[in-house]
Structure 1
């Protein structure tokens, strides 16, 4: 067999060209994902809706499936609309069960049902038998409740609780990750902390934001799932409509999984790709038809989703230009460009770094000694006298007490930190990110800067995340150029020119500037080399601007 990753699509064709098989092929082509197909039905559709469907035979479905596998096994299977034929659904279940016994295959299922469906017809049992096989399900709220055999009218009173309940029921039935897409939710109110009424706007009829809710399970191989198992993806609503957005979402998720994206990144990119497909297809005024090439994903980071805890508050304020302002009802953290950004846990080393002209020092002490507070204040005062910015790693409680220039937090730290208190105190906020999803989550807090990493394998510690490399760092630096950025991980004089050329604008340094007093000449020379690369890259940016 050929050892090539590809996505196998099992769904119906769409004569209108916007959904089903056509949407899957379009999303696969945009990111150069190999795609093979099993056609389950031919549909006749127009702007008035589905006019006719005609299923292919079960024997033909089986032949298509077996033929696709002759050239290798897929790494992802996408299931779309299936004809209401218990025999066909049973056949597909058997084929997928046998496939999963032969290889580790992720299965993405978009259970396409009519949005007005109240009770599932007679093939409910057969359809639900697919759920235990599914890695990712992408139903609308109506479809989720229909699959749970709950009348459509039941969800109108309290959409959030019903979305939670429906998703968790599907997980109990065997689905690993459930995404409740936001297009058909009319309202979303629930109680927070037992008292405060939260309103998540941007849903149908509520204005500016579209929200998809994700319910997943912890996975040791995916560190992000240890941070949030349930979260929401919000993106700006496009004032246009197009056919097949649900199909594009599931297809984009499957395609990105097929080319090796992490689970949460694939979900985020699926949401971004769906919005981009709407812009590409709708003739919306925001789409530049002077550049006729359709884009798989938005170029501008502002057009990407942001990620929040599902219970995060978003108040209705149509005049706000930032979702962060809606949530925090305060200004964003003051932007900050870290420049040459050195990390240390030694007072003597800090003195060397300050003498050698760093821009920013991060006091990163993991094993807190009895004199930790005293030493922290000493280094803070040294930085203040030298005009060097002082940032504290992790210890946001101490930051609220001593008021450094800022505090740097990891993704896990964001779960416990009092972000509102930091914002009110004037202490800046920097956030570590390793994936697209983590960047989307960091943007929610509107931090002073976002840190990307590791660029290369770190010299100082082992991480759970693979190195970004220059290509991804370049893409992120361009996409998120509206935010101050830095990067970390294996940066040394031999590779700094390539890092600087990405436009990231700052380097965070650890091992390459380590050492004691005897190493100061080498440390100084290293910092001068890095400074020259940084200044040269900034000069190029200034010329472009």
Structure 2
């Protein structure tokens, strides 16, 4: 997609470690085009603020007027110094939303104090933000201290963060992200409340002498990613990976700014995603043991997903070596009969057969493997699947779900939907080939499968990402000449290894 335009409304930092300077570099790292409106001039280093001078109301208004004709997709708001500034900015957002039909994301980093500990706002500013600005905000990103100022609650424990986020959400923002950088435990636990969904991210604590500007970068990354149509849970995951990478590269000097490391592509620096929970979130992981068996055929190559034994019978003679059977509407007796026949047929012909969803029957019938979606992944007895020696394939729809699955070390991961598909409504979850390419580069130690709307016409663009296996449904089952269609897919996939 074209680079979206994102406006940062914030203060200027002479050290360039935070404020609009850090915002612009972060937006560039996430392929967004930054625009600026300055709220204050500051004299500061990474460790101290010496002076703060708000810009006059007239010049603030003139700056906003100068950018109101730009087709903005996102606004990141940082330091606001005075109540009058709040009113001017709130009016600008209302006017902008009235005149444009395009989705406009507003992300607020509620800078209530500098990381160096200095008071930055005039009296009455916080109250003005709460009454005038919060109802216009899509995402607010307070740290633990700021969440306490906003709510009166110290969100130390996970349940306290949920309660604080819900209280802030009632003030107007659609989503609340409470950052865990000030945690005193050995890890940082970030919490996101998006509508009624709860997202948790866990990262090891990194001991650095200077974390100046991490809040600015985090919120700017979220704004850029939302402007690029990323769901909030994936924007949070990438933004946190960006901060983790920046901290990992930090120089051991209190005067050195944190680096801007570019788009996150190091899986070791990504946060661990924890399952949706109201309290006491725990990592999704297997107990000590052998884990899930690996696939015998790597890459999986052409991977048709079918809904009957008849289709399996038709595809086996065409040298298809990996199949999935998806029986959504069969009764118990028919389900058992079809799975029994399918497993026996594939075992006899040395075909890797994955059973969609029905993991209990898959264990009982000694299937080769099972494929689970995200909801079933949280309900299934994963230890039982591993102990039975079954392979596990997992569906993922973006970075958050990918990190949730990654901690399990599955037999393969499926990325989708790449394109629109007839079989499922994937509104808001389309990945596209640009994101697929990033997944391929990110996940290196687990077989990968692309799925969703892939056909003979768009196959080359999918394979150009570096993916080596594709799962298909209607591209095979609705083909006029199934044999010819299978050969098209096989020849292009086999050509990758020649």
SS at match of 2:374: coil
- 8 Å CA contact 1:4–1:72 kept in 2: the answer is no
Q: Equivalent of 1:163, from 161, 164, 186?
A: 161
SS in 2 for 1:412: helix
Q: How does 1:22-37 map to 2 (within 5 A)?
A: 22-37=21-36
Structure-2-length-normalised TM-score: 0.86
Alignment partners' CA distance in 1, 2:71 and 2:418: 33
Contact kept? 1:42, 1:53, Cα under 8 Å: yes
What is the CA deviation profile of residues 435-469 of structure 1, one whole-angstrom value per residue up to 9, with x for unaligned ones? 23332332233321111223344355553256544
Task: Please give the alpha-carbon distance, in whole angstroms, between the structure 2 residues aligned to 1:238 and 1:246.
Answer: 15
Tell me the equivalent position of 2:275: 309
Q: What is aligned with 1:251? A: 220
Shift of 1:328: 4.3
Cα contact 1:324–1:446 (8 A) shared by 2: no
Matched, 1:77 2:75: yes
Asked if 1:275 is matched to 2:244, the reply is yes
- 1:91-132 Cα distance to aligned partner (Å, 9 max, x none): 3333333333333532100011237799x9654321312221
Q: Is the 8 A contact 2:8 2:37 kept in 1?
A: yes
Q: How does 1:54-453 map to 2 (within 5 A)?
A: 54-69=53-68, 71-83=69-81, 85-103=82-100, 104-114=103-113, 122-129=124-131, 130-150=133-153, 154-155=154-155, 158-187=156-185, 206=186, 209-217=187-195, 229-240=197-208, 241-279=210-248, 282=251, 295-309=261-275, 311=277, 328-336=287-295, 337=298, 338-369=300-331, 370-453=333-416
Give the Cα–Cα distance (whole angstroms) in 1 for the partners of residues 70 and 461 of structure 2.
Answer: 38
Name the SS of the counterpart of 1:7 in structure 2: strand
CA distance in structure 1 between the partners assigned to 2:4 and 2:315 by the alignment = 48
Query: Where does structure 1 differ by over 6 angstroms across 4 or more consecutive aligned residues?
Result: 115-118, 312-315
- What is the Cα deviation at residue 76 of structure 1? 1.6
Are the structure 2 counterparts of residues 342 and 18 from structure 1 closer, same or farther at C-alpha, using a change threshold of 3 Å? same
Residues 324 and 332 in structure 1, CA contact (< 8 A), matched pair in contact too: no
Matched, 1:532 2:495: no
Q: CA deviation at 1:183?
A: 0.4
Separation in 1 of the partners of 2:424 and 2:160? 43
SS at the partner of 2:327?
A: coil
Q: CA 1:302/1:406 → structure 2, altered by over 3 Å: closer, same or farther?
A: farther
1:320 aligns with: none
Query: 1 CA distance for matches of 2:163 and 2:422?
Result: 45
Once the two structures are overlaid, the 10-residue window that deviates more, 306-315 or 163-172, is 306-315
Cα deviation, 1:398-424, whole Å, max 9, x if unaligned, reads: 223223122112223234323333233
1:241-278 per-residue CA deviation (whole Å, 9 max, x = no partner) reads 44211110001111222233333222222222223333
TM-score, normalization: structure 1? 0.80
Where does the alignment leave 5 or more consecutive residues of structure 2 unmatched?
Answer: 254-258
2:157 and 2:425 map into 1 onto residues whose CA distance is: 42
Deviation at 1:302, TM superposition (A): 3.4
SS at match of 2:184: coil
Tell me the alpha carbon deviations over residues 123-176 of structure 1, each in whole angstroms, 9 at most, x when there is no partner. Answer: 4321312221110011111111111134xxx55xx5222211111100111111
Structure 2 counterpart SS, 1:334: coil
Q: Is the 8 A contact 1:433 1:439 kept in 2?
A: yes
| 3-state SS, counterpart of residue 36 of structure 2 | strand
**Structure 1 pair 126–451 and aligned structure 2 pair: CA distance change class (3 A):** same
Distance 1:423 1:50, change over 3 A: farther
CA distance in 1, matches of 2:429, 2:112: 39
Contact 1:455 1:491 in 2 (8 A): yes
Residues 272 and 297 in structure 1, CA contact (< 8 A), matched pair in contact too: no
Q: Is the 8 A contact 1:276 1:297 kept in 2?
A: no
Which secondary structure state, in structure 1, belongs to the residue aligned with residue 72 of structure 2? coil
* Contact 1:138 1:250 survives alignment (8 Å): yes
Q: Distance in 2 between matches of 1:458 and 1:8?
A: 34
Can you give the 5+ residue segments of structure 1 that lack an aligned partner in the other structure?
A: 188-205, 219-228, 285-292, 316-322, 540-545
Structure 1 CA distance, aligned partners of 2:463 and 2:3? 35
SS of equivalent to 1:371:
helix
Superposition CA RMSD, Å: 3.0
> 2 CA distance for matches of 1:257 and 1:15?
28
Query: Aligned partners of 2:302 and 2:71: how far apart in 1?
Result: 48
Maintained 8 Å contact 2:272/2:404: yes
Q: 1:92 to 1:515 in 2, by over 3 A?
A: closer
- Aligned residues of 1:7 and 1:35 also touching (Cα < 8 A): yes
CA distance in 2 between counterparts of 1:461 and 1:164 reads: 32
CA change 1:161–1:515 in 2 (3 A) is closer
